[in-house]
Amino acid sequence: MRRAESITSAWHTRRAGFSVIEVLLAATVFGFLTVAVVGALIYGRASSSESGNHNRAMALAEEGLEAVRNIRDANFSNLTDSSPTFGLVQSGGVWTLSGTSDTTGIFTRTVTLSSADSKHKDVTVTVSWGSHQVSVTGQMSDWMAQITGPIMMAYSKTTTVPYYRTWDGSAWSSEAAAQTVTGNVNYIVLKSARTRTEAILGTQTSTGAIFVQVWNGSSWGAPTQVGTGPTTTRSFDLAYEKNSDEALVVYGSGADFAYRTWNGTSLSGATSVTTPPTTGTVNWMELRQNPLAASNDIAMLMLDANSDVYGMLWTGSAWSTMGTATAWETSAASATKKTIDIDYEQLSGKAMFMWGTSTSGTQRYRTWNGTTLTAATALSISTEGGVPEWIQLAARPNSNEIMLGVQDAGADLNTRKWSGSAWDTVTQHPEHSSATENIASRNFDIVWETYPGNAGKAWLLWGDGASVTQRQWSGTAWGTASVISGTDDTSFIRLRADSASGAVFAGVYQNATSAVGARDINERHLLNGGATWSAKNTIWGGSTGSDPVFFRIDIATP
């Protein structure tokens, strides 16, 4: 019994020893676990806090970008380039750019703005705290600004290359070349799109070849020859439909004509129109866009080699005779000079067709109101000393008034104004000149002001045998004629006005009889409603060709 008790006692002693070791081991393990758990909790809490700060910073950055968008929506002009940064302030629910930064708690926010171009701003919103920061970026567009074609000038140096320049609001760009065509360029027609950064250029050359090419905002596409016509008259024209902004290209095809359309992407195939009752080769074509926003109508007037005149209407998909299937005139003033023109009353959308007759001092006109073509009516101008060979119509913006300019075979220059229902008289329009530069070329042009403060005013410029003379229409009468300083003998003038800025541009083709050093193509302009033309800006230093100088310069405004 004593031995058994001894064994039992020893077992208990050993068991007690193991328990102490186990307890110590367990305590040690527990300590490690406690430290790990506490460390994990502390680290997790710190990580969670930093993650929360990051999320709050991103929310502030996104809020900043949305605030800049709201500022843009109020007026794009509110977004000016930062120097170096802006802060954001909200008051009355309206965000504004203020100071160089703004703070929310531990966070500091900055906005950086820079111009990508005239209609876009690059935006970066940065939020920083401690040694951390986050950023978001975006681009704000002037969504209220209408995307339009360029203000562009195209001109010929009497080579196979048409040249062009663009206007940036204060100056013309450096000269650049469009695509080469076949033959030396005699005639240029240039038009700008209304809703696309696009221009379309038509040329007719010394070989009679007619080409069109399209500018996409940075480069010209390959030219397409659409036809071949005479070498010394312009047997084509082009115009954009107002509503669709698709372009129509029309060109003579013998005694008939053909057309193609441009939809902003591709040029359609040719379609011939054989209904015109004209009998000779088409020498001149004129197109004009109906200005009403919902319309795709384009009016057309043509003159052939037999002095026949005839008009038709493009309705956006087909040609209409407007109810008259016989020639409007069979003895026009000239078969080789542009004795035809068209324009539209800008409020009513009524078309005015005008042409010169073989009777001295007499031109005829018809109007189309969308349903009725009036009979041909004579307009006689007693001060015309010959048949009216060069005719130009100019429609006044936001009005039904149209100004007529006529240069006759006696080198006289006269004007008349259409009120929307009748022509005024010689009382308002004393003859401007009885000795224009020559009768071989169209020596004049007319344009109405588009600057708001000059509404109702118009400009007439012409070559007077030694220089360029200007005269301004006040709304009721012509002002005093005066010579534009620095001008010389001039055979062709092209006037255009920009409807957005009110700038007025004059392209001047001085002829070969000008003084040495002045035989060039030059440009002058009026800005901000001014009445003094800018100094001469030589577009090309010449030498220019002898008369006729054709139409070797054009200016397009959207």
User: What is the pLDDT, as a whole number, of residue 75?
Assistant: 86
SS3 (DSSP) at 153: strand
User: What is the pLDDT, as a whole number, of residue 4?
Assistant: 41
255-262 CB contacts, 8 Å cutoff, 24+ apart:
255/279, 255/280, 255/281, 255/282, 255/304, 256/282, 257/282, 257/285, 257/302, 258/226, 258/227, 259/314, 260/212, 260/226, 262/200, 262/212, 262/214
- Read off the tokens for 426: 């010689």
Q: In what order do the strands lie in the sheet with 162-166?
A: 176-177, 162-166, 152-156, 553-556
Tell me the torsion sign for CA atoms 327, 333, 335, 336: negative
Q: CA 111, CA 131: separation in Å to the nearest integer?
A: 19
E strand or H helix at 72, and its extent? helix 2-74
Query: What distance lies between CA 221 and its chain's CA centroid?
Result: 18
Domain finish residue from 406, 426, 446: 426
Number of domains in the chain: 2
Range of the domain at 108: 2-141
Q: What is the pLDDT along the chain (558 residues), one digit of tens a residue?
A: 344 444 444 444 444 444 555 555 555 556 665 555 555 555 555 566 778 999 999 999 999 999 999 999 888 888 999 989 999 999 888 999 999 999 999 999 999 999 876 667 889 999 999 999 999 998 887 766 667 899 999 999 999 999 999 999 999 999 999 999 999 999 999 999 999 999 999 999 999 999 999 999 999 999 999 999 999 999 999 999 999 999 999 999 999 999 999 999 999 999 999 999 999 999 999 999 999 999 999 999 999 999 999 999 999 999 999 999 999 999 999 999 999 999 999 999 999 999 999 999 999 999 999 999 999 999 999 999 999 999 999 999 999 999 999 999 999 999 999 999 999 999 999 999 999 999 999 999 999 999 999 999 999 999 999 999 999 999 999 999 999 999 999 999 999 999 999 999 999 999 999 999 999 999 999 999 999 999 999 999 999 999 999 999 999 999
User: What is the pLDDT, as a whole number, of residue 76?
Assistant: 85
SS3 (DSSP) at 15: helix
Three-state secondary structure string covering 368-408: ECCCCECCCEEEECCCCCCCEEEEEEEECCCCCCEEEEEEE
The answer on 251 and 136 residing in a single domain is no
In a domain, 217, yes or no: no
CATH number of the domain enclosing 323: 2.120.10.70
Q: CA 202, CA 326: separation in Å to the nearest integer?
A: 29
Q: CA 10, CA 140: separation in Å to the nearest integer?
A: 90
- Which residue(s) pair with 363 in the sheet? 356, 379
The answer on 408 and 270 residing in a single domain is yes
In a domain, 432, yes or no: no
Q: CA 282, CA 229: separation in Å to the nearest integer?
A: 8
In a domain, 180, yes or no: no
Q: CA 259, CA 278: separation in Å to the nearest integer?
A: 17
Q: pTM for the whole thing?
A: 0.77
DSSP 76: G
- Read off the tokens for 324: 């008259």
Sequence-distant (6+) residues with CB within 8 A of 532 are: 526
Nearest of 464, 417, 424 to residue 444 by alpha carbon = 464
User: CB count, 10 Å around CB of 2?
Assistant: 5
Query: What distance lies between CA 207 and its chain's CA centroid?
Result: 31
User: What is the pLDDT, as a whole number, of residue 12?
Assistant: 45
In a domain, 480, yes or no: no
The answer on 280 and 412 residing in a single domain is yes
The answer on 269 and 136 residing in a single domain is no
The answer on 414 and 275 residing in a single domain is yes
In a domain, 482, yes or no: no
Tell me the torsion sign for CA atoms 323, 326, 331, 335: positive
The answer on 389 and 281 residing in a single domain is yes
The answer on 421 and 274 residing in a single domain is yes
DSSP 14: H
- Read off the tokens for 172: 């013309």
The answer on 241 and 137 residing in a single domain is no
Q: CA 234, CA 340: separation in Å to the nearest integer?
A: 12
Domain finish residue from 403, 426, 449: 426
User: CB count, 10 Å around CB of 21?
Assistant: 9
In a domain, 497, yes or no: no
The answer on 394 and 272 residing in a single domain is yes
User: What is the pLDDT, as a whole number, of residue 522?
Assistant: 97
In a domain, 137, yes or no: yes
Return left, alpha or beta for 105; rule: phi > 0 is left, psi -120 to 50 is alpha, else beta.
Answer: left
Domain finish residue from 124, 141, 158: 141
Ranges of beta strands (E only) in 193-314 are 199-205, 209-215, 224-228, 236-240, 247-253, 256-262, 271-273, 282-289, 298-304, 309-314
In a domain, 19, yes or no: yes
Q: Please check whether residue 156 is in contact with residue 553, taking contact to mean a CB–CB distance below 8 angstroms.
A: yes
The answer on 238 and 136 residing in a single domain is no
Q: CA 248, CA 289: separation in Å to the nearest integer?
A: 10
